[in-house]
Structure 1
Amino acid sequence: MARRRGWGGAPPESDDDAARRIVDTAVELIGSTEGEVTIADVAESLGVIRQTVYRYFPSADALFRAAAIASVGAFLDRLTEYVRGIEDPAKAVVEAVMFALGDVPRTPHLAIMLSGAHSHTEGIASDEAMAFGMTMIRRFDVDWEHHGYDEQALRELVEHQLRTMQSFFISPGNPPRSEQDLRRYLQRWLGPVVVPVEPA
């Protein structure tokens, strides 16, 4: 079982355990360094050789996609806790944007996707970004259907929410607003657009 040697003296119990530990290590390294993380960095941190990592992930892209998914899941869990109990749509959206603007920079995959720091200028409205936004908004304790939001209305609200966040990631202001001032701004200009939707 050569693939289970190393691992800092604590070999994994199964292939699933090995893959999970590789992803967890990649997530930790991505979150703790400002530089680019490589397969070699992940292998060194685990006490294994690069070929061991490649046995579980055939490419760096495959590993970092898995790490990105894990990072997004952790972000959504934190968001869910942050907006728990907020049933008013406008308040929930404002607080979610507040949370995202503070937390996303610690989640590199999301920071790249939402800031526009990539080669695809349509990224903020990409399928990936919209899927993330829809998952995010459905974590709220808001009865969207009760407030008249069907699937299309929710998607439009998510797009508006994503574009708002992107604008602050790209240009936070000079100087950036304080947390109190930012919340006041969002409550004044973002909150009022999140109103019950009348049937067409």
Structure 2
Amino acid sequence: MSWLEAERTELAAERILDAAGALFVERGVDKPGMDEVARAAGCSRATLYRYFENRQALIYAFAHREARLITKQVAQVATEVSDPRRRVVEAVLACLAAVRERPHLAAWYAGDSTLLREVLHDSPVIRGVAQSYLASDADATDPDLADWILRIILSFLSNPGDDEAAERRLLERFLVVPPRS
């Protein structure tokens, strides 16, 4: 495959993911089928299946693309905080802000967020990102902590606090664990 083919492949996959994202906003994440995504992307079903083997692969690819974009924003904020216990609070707040500023992601956590919980639980990409911002380097290998961080984020997305200050207060009170003596 030449470099130009690789670029075209990436552009085609991005166009399909953009079309899927628009359908998720319009109809919800659970509703659009592969036929509908292909029509919205302006391609055939065969072309769609060349890039994504099934609906689950399409959904995960969309979630991973968004997670990579959000991670860049979170990293900019989190790397400025030297205290690892405080870093996790800033990372969670930055993640919440990044997700909320993307209206096309609202369908993922509005109403029944079963699919989002599944993606958060099963995605090594998303779990790895969550684990990288854990409160303590000593606990960074504990997968339960990544699960806990993701559950907190999902909770704030589906049931937001009154404002960022209220969310910060809760995170600082219940997420930041004092250093062990």
Match of 1:180 in 2: 165
Return the alpha-carbon distance in structure 2 between the equivalents of residues 82 and 27 of structure 1.
27
The size of the alignment, in residue pairs, is: 172
Indicate conservation of the 8 Å contact 1:79/1:99, yes or no.
yes
Normalised by the length of structure 1, the TM-score is: 0.63
Q: 1:60 to 1:124 in 2, by over 3 A?
A: closer
Return the alpha-carbon distance in structure 1 between the equivalents of residues 42 and 77 of structure 2.
36
Normalised by the length of structure 2, the TM-score is: 0.68
What amino acid is the match of 2:49? Y
Q: Higher mean Cα deviation, 77-86 or 102-111?
A: 102-111
2:74 equivalent to 1:79: yes
SS at match of 1:126: helix
Give how far 1:118 is off.
1.8
Q: 1:126 aligns with which of 121, 132, 135?
A: 121
SS at match of 1:92: helix
Match of 1:162 in 2: 150
Return the alpha-carbon distance in structure 1 between the equivalents of residues 52 and 8 of structure 2.
11
Q: Which structure would you say has the larger Rg?
A: 1
Match of 2:139 in 1: 149
Q: 1:171 to 1:25 in 2, by over 3 A?
A: same
Match of 2:91 in 1: 96
2:181 equivalent to 1:190: no
Q: Higher mean Cα deviation, 102-111 or 83-92?
A: 102-111
Return the alpha-carbon distance in structure 1 between the equivalents of residues 152 and 133 of structure 2.
19
Q: Deviations for 1:162-198, whole angstroms, at most 9, x for unmatched residues?
A: 23223223322xxx4112232233223322x2x4356
Indicate conservation of the 8 Å contact 1:94/1:187, yes or no.
yes
Provide the identity percentage.
Answer: 23
2:14 equivalent to 1:29: no
Return the alpha-carbon distance in structure 1 between the equivalents of residues 175 and 45 of structure 2.
48
Indicate conservation of the 8 Å contact 1:25/1:42, yes or no.
no
Match of 2:54 in 1: 59
Return the alpha-carbon distance in structure 1 between the equivalents of residues 35 and 131 of structure 2.
37
What amino acid is the match of 2:84? P
Return the alpha-carbon distance in structure 1 between the equivalents of residues 148 and 59 of structure 2.
28
Match of 1:13 in 2: 4
Aligned-residue RMSD, C-alpha: 3.8
Indicate conservation of the 8 Å contact 2:89/2:168, yes or no.
yes
Q: 1:23 to 1:180 in 2, by over 3 A?
A: same
Indicate conservation of the 8 Å contact 2:21/2:62, yes or no.
no
